[in-house]
Amino acid sequence: GIDSRYNEGCRELANYLLFGLYNQNNNDFERTGFPEEVLDDIIILIKPDSVHLYCNPVNYNHLLPYVAYWRNLHFHCLTENE
């Protein structure tokens, strides 16, 4: 989330897991025109036998190339109306 993005440890972990996707210098997100809080709206829950990723429809398309090959991944994504 937006609060975690400004926490150095959380940002480092997210960048490690997502190959630098959330670097502060990443201009791809800025070009989308969506507010920062919409793009940062993700939760990654790492369990011993699975990973649960909670996101919205906007950042789903940005995240998918980075996590598509994770084993035991469970996506929880809001709909456009939600």
Q: What are the sequence ranges of the domains in the chain?
A: 6-75
Which strands form 73-77's sheet, in the order they lie side by side?
Answer: 43-47, 50-55, 73-77
pLDDT in tens, 48-63: 999 999 988 888 888 8
Report DSSP state, residue 51: E
pLDDT in tens, 12-32: 887 788 887 766 555 555 565
Q: Residue 60 is which amino acid?
A: Y
